[in-house]
Structure 1
Amino acid sequence: MKAKSLKLLLCTCSIFTIIALVGCTANESTKGIEDSEVASTTKTSADDENIATNVFPKDEVIDVKITIDEEDFQSMLDNASAEEMMTASVNYNGVQLDNVGIRTKGNLSLRSVVSMEDSERYSFKLSFDEYISSQTFFGISKINLNNSYSDASYMREYLAYELAEEMGLPTPGYSFVNIYINDELWGFYLAVQQIDDQYLQSNFGNSYGALYKADMSGSGNDLAWIDDNIESYSGLLQKSELSNDDILVDMINELNNGSDYEKYLDVEEALKFIALNVLTNNSDSYLGGNKHNYYLYEDDGVFSILPWDYNMAFGGMGSMGSSSLLIDEPTQGNLVDRPLVAKLLAVDEYKEMYHDILQQATEGYLLSSTFSERVEELSTMISTYVEKDPTAFNTFDEYQNSVTELVTINDTQVSSIDQQLAGTIASSGDGSGSGGGMGMGGGRNRGMGEGRGEFDIPAMAGVNEQTSPTALDTQGASSIPTQGAPSAPADGNTPSQGEQGFPADIPEDMPAYFEAGGFPGGGMGGERPEGMGGGFGGFGERSNQPQGSVKEAITAGIALVIMLLSGMFITFYKRKKL
C-alpha cells in the first residue's frame, strides 16, 4: 500500500512539473512576442524618420545618380516597351546602393514617349531588391521615378499627395529629384514610393493583411456586386501572398446589398478617398471611366482604400477644373455604377461627414490664398531645376504658364464646391453622373500650356470628352529593410495588348497597355508580382508576427503526453516477484 502511494505521489509530482514547464515556455513565448513587437515598432519608427529625412524630403530637391553600362542603358531606351530590367548602381541622396535593378515603366506615358521621335524621357523604376533579395533602402525596396508626363507644371501629383496627407489618408513617400545617368544630368522627376510593406507597416502597424489593386482591364473594379465567386472580380488583382477573398466578397456584398458598411469598410477613409478625387478633379480614378488607381488593404477584416497615381489630378484629363463636377454625383457615368459613392452618400450621416471633409479642404489647404502660396513656394524651389531640365517635355515659358493655370483651375473648382456645399447651386443631378466634365479632353498638355508641337501625341487626337481614358502608370510595390528577408526577383515583363484586352471605346491608334506586374510574390500564379519584394507574394517574413510559438506549444504538448504515459506505466505496471 505504501509503495503504491509513493508511485501515485511520483506521478502527481511529474504532472505538476510538466505543467510548470509549460507555463514557463508560455511566458517565454509571450515575452518573445512582446520583444518582437517592440523591436518591429522601433525599427519602423527609425525607418520612417530616415525616409522622411533622406529619401523623401519635402523642403529640397535631392540628387539620384545612376551608373549603368552604356550599352545596357541604350538597349533599355531602344526597347523601352519591353520594360527589361537592367543592373545599375545608385547613389540616392548620398547613400550608395549597388546591384540595383532599373527599367522603364508606365502605360500611356511610356507608349507616348516611345512614339515621340525626339524624346527618350521615360519614367523609371528602381528595384533595390531585384538582385539582392535582402537589400532595401531604409525598408523601401522599390521607388518610381515619374517623368511628369502631361504635366507642364511638374506639381500635380506632388500637390495631390500633399493634400492626401493633410486629409489623413495613407500616402506613399514622394519628393522631387534631379536624376543623373552616368554623371550627366538626365532630368527633373518626381520620386514616389511603391505601396510596399514598409508603407503598410508605417500606416497600419502591420504588413500581412490582404492587398488588392484595381485594374481597369478586368471586372469588379467598380466594386459592384457580380456574384460570390472571387474569380468574377478579375479587376481586383491580389497583390499579397495572403488572400482573404471571402472577406473581399463579403465586403462587396455588404456594400451593394446590405447596410452595415462599417463591418467591412473604413467608411471615414473611403469618404476621404472620394473627396480627394473630387477636390483634385481627378477623373483618372475610381470616379472615372477606368475605375482604377486605388488599392484595397484588409486589416483584421476591415478594408481601407488607398489612393494611388495622381499625375492627372487638378483637371489633368482635360476637365480644366470644370464647374460641372457635381460633388454628390461626381462619377463619369451613372452614379449607381459606383456603389462606393452611391451607397455611402445615400446615408445622411456619411454625406454630412463627406461634406465636412470637402469643406475642411476648401477652407484649408485648397483655400485660394493658401494654395497659391504653396504653389509659389514649390515653384521657387523647383524653377531652377525645371529651367535646366535637358529632357523636359515643355519649354520653361510653358512651365510658368501652367503654374499660373494650376492656381486658376483650383480656384474654379473650389468656388464650385463651396457653392454646392452652400446649396446655391445643385450638387447632384438625375443620377447620370457629372458627364463630360470628367472627360479626357484633348492633348497631353490640356490645361497646362500648349506644349511643344513635336511632342503633340497623334493618339490623343479626336478623343472626345466622353471617351474613357486609357490606362496610366500602374506600379507595384515592395519593401524590406536592408537586412530584411529574401524575395524572389521580378521579371518585369508586360503582357501584350492581345493578352490583356482593352476598353471598346479606345481608338485603335491609342491602345491601352496594362502592366501585369505589381507586387512580387508567391500565391500569384508563381510569378513574383512587380514591386513586392520579399514579403507578401515576395514580401519577407512579417516582422511583427512572431514565429516559433506554435512549435514550442507542440513540443511542450508532446512532452506532457510522454510524461503522463510514463506516470501511468509506473503506477499500474505489476512487477513480478523474484
Structure 2
Amino acid sequence: MTQLLPNALRRYSLLAAILFIQALAYAQVNFTDSNLPIVIITTDNDPNTGEPMEIPDDPKIPASMKIIFHPDGTRNYMTDQSNAAFLNYNGRIKIELRGSSSQMLEKKQYGWTTYENNDTTKKNVSLLGMPSENDWILNGLAFDASLMRDYLCYNLTRQMGQYATRTHYCEVIINGDYRGLYVLQEKIKDDTKRVNIEEIDEEASSGMALTGGYITKADKTTGGDPIAWQMDSYQGWPSDFIHELPKPNNITPAQNDYIHGQFQLLESTTGANNASVATGYPSVIDIPTFVDFMIINEFSSNVDAYQISTFFHKDKGGKLRAGPVWDFNLSLALDVFGDRSQPDVWQFSNEDNEGAKFWTDLFNNPTYKCYFSRRWNQLTQPGQPLHFASVEAFIDDTVELITEASV
C-alpha cells in the first residue's frame, strides 16, 4: 500500500514542480483573489529606516494581521480587507521565523502569537474555525512539491483518533509581497483542545504534583534549547531529548529527574522484554498512543521519525504518551538529504534516524507486536483512515483544493 501512495504523490509533485518552474517566468505575482483564506501580514516600521521590519529568527517582532475568509465558502478577494464581515481576524501579532533546515529556503516558515492592541497581553482567538488559542504557525511546506505531506498525515492522525495539529490551507502576503501557499496550523502546547494535560505547578517537587504535566521531545538542538539528557540508540549515536513543558529555563532538578526517570524506566523494561502489566512497559506507557504514533510514521516512511521532531507528553497521574506527531515534509518517498524514505524499511531500524532503543525493543516484543498488527489491520479496513481508497480520495480532494494556489 505504501508503495502505491508515493506514486500518486510523485505525480502531484511533478505537476507542482512544473507549475513552479512556469511561475518563475513572472517577475511578480498579480494576486487578487483565492478560493482559500488570504493572510495579510504587515510588520511595524523600523524606527531607523522607516521601512517594514524584516522578520528575524528571534525574537518575535510586532505586526498587524488580517485574515480574509468568506464563511459561506465563496471566493476571497484582496479588496475584502476593508470589509469587517469578511475578516476572520484583524489585529495585532508578534512574529518570528521558525524551523531548522527550512530556513535555508527562500520561502520561510513562521511562528506567531496573537496580541491585544497593547502589544503586551496575549489574546486567545479562534482562527478559521479552530479552537481559541494564541500560538500559531504558518507552515511553508518546506521541500515538499506536493504541498500536502504534513496536511495529509496530520489529518489522517486525527481520523485515527489521536490529537494532531489542526490545519487550514491559506495564501500569504507579507509586507505587500505574495509568499504563496501555506498551512495555518496550531502550535504544539498544553491546552484542553491541543495537548490535553494539566500544566505542572512550577513548585512541584514530590508526590502526585510531580507526575505531570510534561511535554518532552527528541529533536535537534538548533533552536537553542539545551539537551536535557541523551538516550542510546542501536545505530551508534545518541538521541537528544529536550524539555518543551516546563521550558528548559523553568524546569527544576526534581522535575527533570522525574520525567527522565520515566524514559529510563521505559528503556529498561523494553530492553528486558518485560510486558508485565504490573512491572513492565505497560505500566509506564499508554500503549495505544505509541502504536498509533509508530503506525502513522511507518505508513508514511517518515525520515525524521523517532530521532527528530518526536514529541511525548505525560499528564498528572497518567502514563507516558507518544505524540503529538510532527513534521512529515520528508516522508512518502521524499528525502532531499538522502534516500531513506522507503516502503520496505522500518524507520526505527533503518541504520540512520532510529531514535532511542526503546522503539525497536517495543516492536520486537511479541505482545506489543500483537497490538501493533491488530491496530494496523483495523485501520486499513474499508472505510477506515488508512484504507487505500480512503487515502487516495483524501489526496484527490486535497489536490482539487490547492491546485489553483499551487502555481
- 1:68-147 paired onto structure 2 within 5 Å: 68-69=43-44, 75-76=53-54, 80=56, 82-92=57-67, 93=69, 94-110=87-103, 112-113=104-105, 120-129=106-115, 131-138=119-126, 139-147=132-140
**How far apart are 1:190 and its partner, in Å?**
1.1
Write the deviation string for residues 183-232 of structure 1: whole angstroms up to 9, x where unpaired.
5543111122111233x55553634412222233447455769xxxxxx9
In structure 1, stretches of 5+ residues that fail to align are: 1-59, 114-119, 226-231, 388-578
Query: CA separation of 1:252/1:223 partners in 2, compared to 1, >3 Å: closer, same or farther?
Result: farther
SS in 2 for 1:89: strand
- 1:384-403 paired onto structure 2 within 5 Å: 384-387=404-407
Separation in 2, partners of 1:64, 1:246: 43
Query: CA separation of 1:142/1:89 partners in 2, compared to 1, >3 Å: closer, same or farther?
Result: same
Separation in 2, partners of 1:97, 1:263: 48
Separation in 2, partners of 1:319, 1:216: 20
Q: 1:282 aligns with which of 302, 317, 325?
A: 302
Separation in 1, partners of 2:354, 2:334: 25
Task: Indicate the structure (1 or 2) with the bigger Cα radius of gyration.
Answer: 1
Name the structure 1 match of 2:10.
none
In structure 2, stretches of 5+ residues that fail to align are: 1-34, 70-86, 127-131, 201-212, 222-226, 275-279
- 1:470-549 paired onto structure 2 within 5 Å: none
Write the deviation string for residues 478-499 of structure 1: whole angstroms up to 9, x where unpaired.
xxxxxxxxxxxxxxxxxxxxxx
Structure 1 counterpart of 2:100, which letter? N
Name the structure 1 match of 2:314.
298
User: How many residue pairs align between the two structures?
Assistant: 305
Name the structure 2 match of 1:325.
345
**How far apart are 1:382 and its partner, in Å?**
0.9
Separation in 2, partners of 1:247, 1:223: 19
Structure 2 counterpart of 1:251, which letter? Q
- 1:108-507 paired onto structure 2 within 5 Å: 108-110=101-103, 112-113=104-105, 120-129=106-115, 131-138=119-126, 139-182=132-175, 185-198=178-191, 200-204=192-196, 206-208=198-200, 209-217=213-221, 218=227, 220=229, 222=231, 235-240=241-246, 241=250, 244-258=255-269, 259=274, 260-286=280-306, 291-299=307-315, 300-306=317-323, 307-317=325-335, 319=339, 322-326=342-346, 330-333=348-351, 338-363=356-381, 364-387=384-407
TM, length-normalised to structure 2: 0.66
Query: CA separation of 1:201/1:73 partners in 2, compared to 1, >3 Å: closer, same or farther?
Result: farther
Query: CA separation of 1:303/1:121 partners in 2, compared to 1, >3 Å: closer, same or farther?
Result: same
Query: CA separation of 1:335/1:215 partners in 2, compared to 1, >3 Å: closer, same or farther?
Result: closer
**How far apart are 1:332 and its partner, in Å?**
2.8
Query: CA separation of 1:256/1:202 partners in 2, compared to 1, >3 Å: closer, same or farther?
Result: closer
Query: CA separation of 1:223/1:127 partners in 2, compared to 1, >3 Å: closer, same or farther?
Result: farther
SS in 1 for 2:360: helix
Write the deviation string for residues 91-139 of structure 1: whole angstroms up to 9, x where unpaired.
23423343310122221110x22xxxxxx42112222249333312243
**How far apart are 1:369 and its partner, in Å?**
2.8
Q: Report the structure, 1 or 2, having the larger strand content.
A: 2
Name the structure 1 match of 2:208.
none
Write the deviation string for residues 59-83 of structure 1: whole angstroms up to 9, x where unpaired.
x732222122465876426xx5x44
Write the deviation string for residues 305-353 of structure 1: whole angstroms up to 9, x where unpaired.
2112222221332548524314xx7423289963332232233221111
SS in 1 for 2:54: helix
Separation in 1, partners of 2:401, 2:239: 44
SS in 1 for 2:172: strand
Contact 2:139 2:185 in 1 (8 A): yes
SS in 2 for 1:204: coil
Query: CA separation of 1:238/1:148 partners in 2, compared to 1, >3 Å: closer, same or farther?
Result: closer
Residue identity over aligned pairs, in percent, reads 18
Contact 2:349 2:360 in 1 (8 A): no
Query: CA separation of 1:380/1:295 partners in 2, compared to 1, >3 Å: closer, same or farther?
Result: same
Whose RCO is larger (CA < 8 A, sep 6+)? 1
Separation in 2, partners of 1:237, 1:345: 25
**How far apart are 1:261 and its partner, in Å?**
1.4
**How far apart are 1:156 and its partner, in Å?**
0.4
Name the structure 2 match of 1:8.
none
